[in-house]
Amino acid sequence: MKKLKTLSKLKKELDSVFSLFIRHKYAKDGIVHCYTCSVSKPIKQIQNGHWIPRNNLATRFSEENCRPQCVGCNMFNKGRPDVFAVNLLKEGIDIIKLQQTKYAVFKIDAIWYEQKITEYKQRTEELR
Ligand SMILES: [Zn+2]
């Protein structure tokens, strides 16, 4: 019998699947530019940066909210949300709408996680 995974385990799994997807999405020949300082690094040394912090579940797995970032920007400079926002605006992302999404009631169940994990694994494969 297949053992059911806990929500926290699924969330962790989606975090890593989604992170890999975001990094591949913006990579060229395995190299990614940090969204907020432009330094270029191999995929493995880049993180998935969130403009609206990760603790907001409604935007945690939003492609509009996530871009590759170097460790310096993402961890030591707390994501540099000011630069991040300016760059999102330049891309034409509606950051006000994104801000509002943050407050949306967002319930995630195991099925939602399973679907997203499958979807992003597949989309990452297509990018490789
Ligand atoms: Zn950086």
The mean pLDDT values, 10 residues at a time, for the chain of 128 residues are 83 98 97 98 98 94 98 97 98 96 86 97 95
| 45 and 71 Cβ atoms separated by less than 8 Å | yes
The token pair that represents 100 in the structure block: 């509002």
* pLDDT confidence of residue 110: 95
> Which DSSP helix (H) or strand (E) runs through 31?
strand 31-33
Please tell me the distance between residue 20's alpha carbon and the centre of ligand 1 in angstroms: 17
Alpha-carbon span 39 to 74, nearest angstrom: 12
Please tell me the distance between residue 126's alpha carbon and the centre of ligand 1 in angstroms: 26
Cα 128 to Cα 21, 40, 49, 112: the distances in Å are 10, 18, 20, 24
Task: Read off the pTM.
Answer: 0.94
Please tell me the distance between residue 41's alpha carbon and the centre of ligand 1 in angstroms: 10
